[in-house]
Amino acid sequence: MTVSVSRRAVLGGIGAAALYHSTAMAAETPPPVIRFAGVNGGFAKPLGTGLIGIVQHFNYIENELKPNNVRIDWQFPEGTGPAINEAIAAGRVDFAAYGDLPQVIGRAAGLPTRIISGEGNSGYQFLAVRSGLKVRTVADLKGLRVSIQRGTILQLLLDRLLAQHGLTENDIQLFDLHTPDQISALTSDSVDASLGSTGLLALRDQGVVRIIDKVIGGGAGGAGSLLVTDDFAQRYPATTRAVVRAVLKASRWSALPENRAAFLDVSALGGIPRNALNEELPGDLGPYVHPLIDDWLVGDFRDTTAFATQHGIIRAPIDIPSWFDRSFLNGALDDLRLQHYWRSRAAVGR
């Protein structure tokens, strides 16, 4: 599949950042390789999902760091968020973009990171049940075998759905499986239901499952963010700011209505069917690629931390305000003269 997008549209805003780039980067030599972890569609394709896939596909970070010829080592662990935490703990990752619950778990375990921008909220996640089962609502899941991957935003979203119907995890048989294994388990009748994204839509189209409900993340759990390790931010502050500039440019491009079709075309290169992406990300793409650290995002992480504490997922307290470092984002917004481009969102319920 060929995605046709003008170079001017992709690299817009470089002129506004030129002065800062030339002075700050001259004083700092970035590392030859930046290690960036993210989440992909689980189709064995080396392309990230959502906003990060756009950053990767159009080489936004590499273009920000010219002429240093920095190489980006893109990593998409099969175990998604929990596996990314392991990679950070082992010193194999500099930047990572993934969901709030695994990030909270990593922070509670002592991972030395800073949240430096938003990544937008997740698209719709779908609750699928095997076609032969007489299940019509979430309440009908009581006693059945349900699969998710623990420690990811899907656990949080499943618990939210269950609570809305008077159930908890104790009312179902919960199987902890990676995404590819969930698909196999549904196909082989090893589990009865699963909460997930576009892979379940493909099973629906094959007649294997039915979609009985859907939920969208963000604002009260289920959002994502970009974080950097403390060590990298301290050693390479100008480079960190350049990475955030790249994310801002990709966010601005992705949210333009005229780029929706191209956004879906790029995302489909990761193996997710384009029609499924269109169903997962309906309407305006702005909320799914929103980069600000605002009350909405901070509130999301507060709610997710409360959820993780309540369910015994974490035991150590987290100082949420100190985890967010707005300095790189504010600097990047200044560089690009986009201080007033995005609207700050209020916390959910306020």
**In terms of C-beta density within 10 A (0-12 exposed, 13-18 middle, 19 or more buried), how is residue 309 classed?**
middle
Does residue 342 sit within a domain? no
Same domain for 317 and 184, yes or no, is no
pLDDT of residue 329: 98
Please state whether the peptide bond connecting residue 67 to the residue before it is cis, i.e. omega within 30 degrees of 0: yes
Task: Give the pLDDT confidence score for residue 15 in this predicted structure.
Answer: 47
Does one domain contain both 231 and 207? Answer: no
Mean pLDDT by 10 residues, the chain (350 residues): 46 46 69 95 78 95 94 92 96 96 96 95 89 94 94 89 94 91 91 90 92 83 91 98 98 96 92 88 90 95 92 92 97 97 82
Would 32 be classed as within a structural domain? yes
Residue 343 lies in a domain: no
Q: In angstroms, how far is CA 83 from the centroid of its own chain?
A: 14
Asked whether residue 81 falls in the same domain as residue 137, the answer is no
Identify the CA nearest to 146 among candidates 203, 195, 208.
195
Decide which of 216, 237, 262 is a domain's last residue.
Answer: 216
> Using CA atoms, how far apart are residues 129 and 101, in angstroms rounded to an integer?
24
Do 139 and 85 lie in a common domain?
no
Sheet hosting strand 223-229, strand order edge to edge: 71-75, 33-37, 95-99, 223-229, 113-121
Quote the CA–CA distance of 98 and 241 in Å, as a whole number: 19
**Cα distances (angstroms) measured from residue 96 to each of 9, 82, 173, 183:** 25, 12, 32, 26
Q: Looking at residue 46, which CATH number applies to its domain?
A: 3.40.190.10
Q: Do 161 and 108 belong together in one domain?
A: no
pTM: 0.88
Number of domains in the chain: 2
In a domain, 242, yes or no: yes
Q: Which residue has the tokens 């003008």?
A: 6
**Which residues does 263 contact at the CB level (< 8 Å), separation at least 6?**
54, 254, 285
Judge if 241 and 321 occupy the same domain. yes
- Asked if residue 282 is part of any domain, the answer here is yes
Domain final position from 216, 247, 275: 216
Range of the domain at 27: 7-122+222-336
Asked whether residue 59 is assigned to any structural domain, the reply reads: yes
pLDDT for 55: 96
Same-domain check for residues 253 and 199 = no
Residues 108 and 245 in one domain: yes
Which of 187, 216, 245 is the endpoint of a domain? 216
Residue 243: name the closest of 120, 134, 331 by CA. Answer: 331
The sheet that has 145-148: what strands, in order across it?
173-176, 145-148, 193-196, 124-130, 209-216
Length in residues, the chain: 350
Task: Give a yes or no: residue 260 inside a domain.
Answer: yes
- Same domain? 294 vs 192: no
Q: Do 152 and 114 fall into the same domain?
A: no
Residues 49, 115, single domain; the answer is: yes
